Chains A and B, each alone.
Chain A
Amino acid sequence: MTSMTSMTSTVADPGVDASRPLHPGLNLGPAHGAAHRDAEMVVFGFWVFLMSDLVTFAMFFAIYATAIDATAGGPGNAAITDLASIAMQTGALLASSLVFGLGTVAMKYNEGRAKVVGLLLASLALGLVFLGLEIRDFMHAAEIGAVPMRSGYLSAYWALVGLHGLHVAVGSLLIVAMVAQIGVFGLRADVKSRILRLGLYWHFLDVIWVGIITVIFLPGAFA
């Protein structure tokens, strides 16, 4: 969401205590001066975006729920669930989020550019591991004929898991972009604000993933 550049002429309200949290989630804090205050509006806007994106996912979840029995004689939930692979994917995605979180904390406490970049890259690597395992699962599904063209159920499955995967891919691309921005500009105020928002997005994808496990894979494993 690099396009959400804040307006620079935001009115400063002298009554605002810059040390209090200005928005839900990790705040930059008073040590970052104006960057802390300016983050309020863009981060709020980003929360609104996530809320809206959540509704999009909700639609795909709802369609999946209605399509559970629409297998048209093809492979169902149990055939495509490989719980060991899902466990590894979950581990990779949640660890990636944790590492990203450590990166934003390092940024908040000014622990240096190298540490922030290192943690972001580690987070990216874990995200790519997740994507790789997910693609492997998809390829396996295709091998056993569980392609989306086969049935309404499989269409819903591929679309929901695929939409999450697409989000992770976009997030990975944005991590690359943010690392490049740190390289070009250093930890400038607007770069820090963008990393905060990317962090929200990255954690948001965990929440969706937990929903996916609960709705798709656990029932599949115990079907």
Chain B
Amino acid sequence: MNESFLFGRLSLSDFEPLKIFHNPDLSTAIGSIASWIVIVGVVAVLGLLTVKRWWGPLFTQWLNTTDHKKIGIMYLAFAGIMFTRGVLEGVVMRAHLMTSYEKGFLSSEHFAELFSTHGTIMIFFVLMPALIGLMNLLVPLQIGARDVAFPKLNQISLGFTVVGGMLIMISLVIGGFETGGWTAYPPFTGATFQPGPGPDYWVWAIGLSGVGSLLSGLNFAVTIYKMRCPGMTFMRMPLFTWTALCTSILLIFALPPLTAVTLMQALDRYLDFHFFTNDLGGNMMNYANMFWMFGHPEVYILILPAFGIYSEISQTFSGKVLYGYVSLVAATMAIAVLSFTVWLHHFFTMGQSSAINAAFGIATMLIAIPTGVKVYVWIATLWRGRVRLRTPIVYLAGFIVFFVIGGYTGVMLANPTINFAVHNSQFVVAHFHNVLLPGSLFAILAAIYTWFPKFFGFRLDETWSLRTAYLFVAGFAVTFLPLYALGLMGYPRRSPAFDDPAFIPYVVVSFVGALILVSALTSFFVTFLVSVRHRDELAVPGGDPWDGWTLEWASPAPVPEWNFAVIPQVSSRHAFGIEKMSGQAFQFDIDRIEPVDLPAKSYIGLAIAVFGTMMGFALVFWIWWLAALSLLVMVGYGIALGFLPDRPIRISAEEIARVERRWIEAARSENLTRREDEVSPTNHGYAAPIAGARA
């Protein structure tokens, strides 16, 4: 391999876009075209920013913000971009598998690269950032705080997360990704078998974004422990905040094994260490164990906040108090603890004694108990409530039906004897898509619908939202349920081709499902276009379009930068709901309004994103001078932060009072919206309270 000082091992042959000009086969051409899509996308975004003159606002209002709401929105936008790529990759894979009787149109190598990037992206750069984004948006508002505990650290977390996404996007254009799946097991991903840049992209994308996730967990744990408003005891916290707390604890304890495993893999690959190699005392099982010590809690990092979201919407859209708050809290904590005791079930077949397998199998089955409690709690909440069939309820219904199936197949897989028969088959693929789509993805989509009006000041178009929801639910079912059958028939996962014609009908149905998912994604984006166009009819300046009972609804929409004119004081779980019922909401008390100091703006997050990406890229291609320089800049900036002036932004009491007064006067003069009118243009975000909230 030729190496130069300036460019390391980077060479022209690494550039995917050029490959289209060298008379490629179909598989290479598809990869090359994908890289052109990235390039065109980047150019289009840069062009749009220039034409619309958005560069200024981008730098002065977004990239330097420490406002938890804007950071949350950026997390979600990032997740949306990555989601688009992940879905499209899924469709290409389903198309390939439809034609892969004996041989599909992609090369085996390309197919392996696709399932590796698809898995890595969907888990690390779609579900995780989307949920952390929602935590950013909601947690401070739900506990009556003005921001998170460490606003600058929050920016740094986002910066590290973006580094990972950028590296994966760059790998599509330069050099290609690894082919060992999202778990990237060595020795297959070791230097001997894959010297190329692919596994190095994985190491730095996952390692650096992992730092960001860890710091997010720390930030939210401290926020929830220390920044609750007066009266907000633990057992009065909204359920989403509870699940955010459990997720934060999981992040704090589960990410270090991932950091350790990526570090050791890097040492193996770069410095010829022998942690996981075949020879000289390396032990691959150490990788498997450490990876899944992270990987299994990670599953609950992805699902617990989703449970929180379902808890909130089942209450809000049935107008009935959550059935069994205490059991839900206990179940959430139980799951968080148990999640650390089950990691070995990801490799039952990799050589432990049967006694160890049995112990981990039983521990895994135990998780079904608190999860079952939760499902009953949501059903019982809807039972005899006045359920309004809005978009979130469609997702919730799809979730309850399908998640139960996914849960049952999980219990099946937890049994080591069954696991031996179906492991590494499409059955497993069906199972984890079955829990992650209805479980995590539907919740995120439902949350976007529910809380979008709070942060943008207008609702999402109801027709298109419903269409999207039905398409996602149907698309999921058609795509993934056939894979259960395929797995039981013996079709291995990650297999680029098959030779049994009996599989053909199933892969065709699954491809049709993938097309439905693409139309769902399209419909999802159309929803935003339509809603932005009709934003005047959809406006909800009152900020409470769904008759919410918790603190995040007790402010105008969009939420002012300071969140609350006066830090609220609560005495019940549904403080805002009870205030509305008793007519105590919307009290304007000028004497209590004081000036607020908002955290200072900073560019540290942007610097991390830019120089972290440069460092990762330089390490992938052995451009040592650039890696050292980038690290130096980041460390230097970090140390310089201690010396730079840190002046908070002062918002005057007059300004706060002006916004507050406008909101409250409107609340007094508006016709309050009844629930049956909540999707009509008369909904201005001032809800007529229904009798439901209670202490």
Contacts and interface: CB of A to CB of B under 8 A. Distances in A.
Interface in B137-170: 146-147, 149-153, 156
Contacts of A173: 639
B604 interface: yes
Contacts of A52: 214, 217-218, 252-253, 255-256
B281 A67 contact: yes
Interface string A1-37: 0111111111101000000000000000000000000
Contacts of A62: 290
A95 interface: no
B390 interface: no
Interface in B558-608: 567, 596-599, 604
Question: Which of B150, B290, B599 has its CB near the most chain A CB atoms (within 10 A)?
Answer: B150
Contact of A155 (B156, B217, B273, B638): B273
A23 B641 CA distance: 25
B643 A181 contact: yes
Contact of B150 (A45, A59, A177): A45
A67 B285 CA distance: 11
Question: Which of B256, B271, B643 has its CB near the most chain A CB atoms (within 10 A)?
Answer: B256
Contacts of A9: 146-147, 596-598, 648
Question: Which secondary structure dominates chain A's binding surface?
Answer: helix
Interface residues of A, number: 52
A151 interface: yes
Contacts of A74: 280
B383 interface: no
Interface string B229-271: 1100000000000000000000011011101110110011001
Contact of A59 (B147, B149, B260, B277): B260
Contacts of B642: 2, 177, 181, 194
Contacts of B692: none
A3 B638 contact: yes
B352 to A, nearest CB: 14
Contact of A159 (B273, B599, B641, B643): B273
B272 interface: yes
B218 A48 contact: yes
Question: Which of A2, A48, A155 has its CB near the most chain B CB atoms (within 10 A)?
Answer: A155
A72 B256 CA distance: 28
B625 to A, nearest CB: 21
A109 interface: no
A63 B146 contact: no
A40 B226 CA distance: 9
A117 to B, nearest CB: 16
A150 B272 CA distance: 9
A3 B156 contact: yes
Given A44-B225, A52-B252, A149-B272, A11 B567 contact: yes
Contacts of A10: 227
Given A3-B156, A70-B282, A159-B267, 14 more contacts: A2-B641, A5-B641, A7-B599, A8-B597, A8-B648, A13-B230, A51-B252, A52-B255, A70-B280, A70-B281, A72-B281, A148-B271, A152-B277, A155-B268
15 contacts: A11-B567, A44-B225, A45-B218, A51-B253, A56-B259, A59-B260, A63-B260, A67-B283, A70-B280, A151-B274, A151-B280, A152-B274, A155-B268, A181-B643, A190-B646
The 5 closest A-B pairs by CB, nearest first: A152-B281, A70-B281, A2-B642, A59-B260, A55-B256
